[in-house]
Amino acid sequence: MLEARSSIPRSILMENAGKAVYKAINQRFDLKDKKILVICYHGNNGGDGFVAAGHLCDEAEVDVLFIGDENRLKKEALINFKKIEHNEKIQFVSDDGADFGNYDIIIDAILGIGIQGMLNREISAVIEDINNSKAYKVSIDIPTGLDPDSGFAADKCVNPDLIVTFHDLKKGLEKMQDKTVVVDIGLPK
């Protein structure tokens, strides 16, 4: 993986990724009075989502739905989870307490490129909730459920309006490049 071979600390790459997601959304919307839901899992994609939430909450109402296991958070993701955990501008919501119809923007920070095989039942149900929402949907790096190499979903995947991907266009996103922005997070070319 490119990140592992880079001399740039993963924490810096995660900060750059989350900030890039914030900037991409901010370029498309006046965030004042917007209600945003950021859905995170316990991997690095979730960490990117925590960083984005930390930037977005200064301009919009931000809720975070964490569907992962706090004990399984990867090191950098845990650091960014802790940064927003007690932020008064961010409300953590539960899966059964989140009304997906109440949001203007939903950010998919669930799996990214980390998908392997079929989705678990909880992630599958959340994908359905995201796709059924009328909110503007943003996927971080790659839509959850989509294979980054083939562009196919073994089960189902988030159907985003915007994909903010990092470094270069993944092969699996070629059919969706009209709704994909590639952002630089500091990795060498």
What dotted CATH number matches 2-183?
Answer: 3.40.50.10260
State the pairing for strand pair 90-93/61-66.
parallel
Segments making up each domain of the chain, as ranges: 2-183
- What pLDDT was estimated at residue 189? 66
Report how far residue 37's alpha carbon sits from residue 92's, in angstroms, rounded to the nearest whole number: 10
Are residues 169 and 182 in contact, defined by beta-carbon separation less than 8 angstroms? yes
Are residues 13 and 39 in contact, defined by beta-carbon separation less than 8 angstroms? no
Report how far residue 107's alpha carbon sits from residue 92's, in angstroms, rounded to the nearest whole number: 14
Q: Would residue 33 be called left, alpha or beta, if left means φ above 0 and alpha means ψ between -120 and 50 degrees?
A: left
For the chain, the maximum distance between any two Cα atoms, rounded to a whole number of angstroms, is: 43
- What pLDDT was estimated at residue 1? 45
Q: What is the pTM of this model?
A: 0.94
Per-residue confidence in pLDDT tens, the chain, 189 aa: 444 455 778 888 899 999 999 999 999 999 999 999 999 999 999 999 999 999 999 999 999 999 988 999 989 999 999 999 999 999 999 877 789 999 999 999 999 776 777 788 999 999 999 999 999 999 999 999 999 888 888 789 999 999 999 888 888 888 999 999 998 887 766
- What pLDDT was estimated at residue 169? 87
Q: Which two tokens stand for residue 35?
A: 């209600």
Residue 186 burial (10 A CB sphere; 0-12, 13-18, 19+): middle
- What pLDDT was estimated at residue 127? 95
Task: Tell me the sheet residues that pair with 105.
Answer: 36, 136
Range list of H helices, the chain: 2-5, 10-28, 44-56, 75-85, 121-132
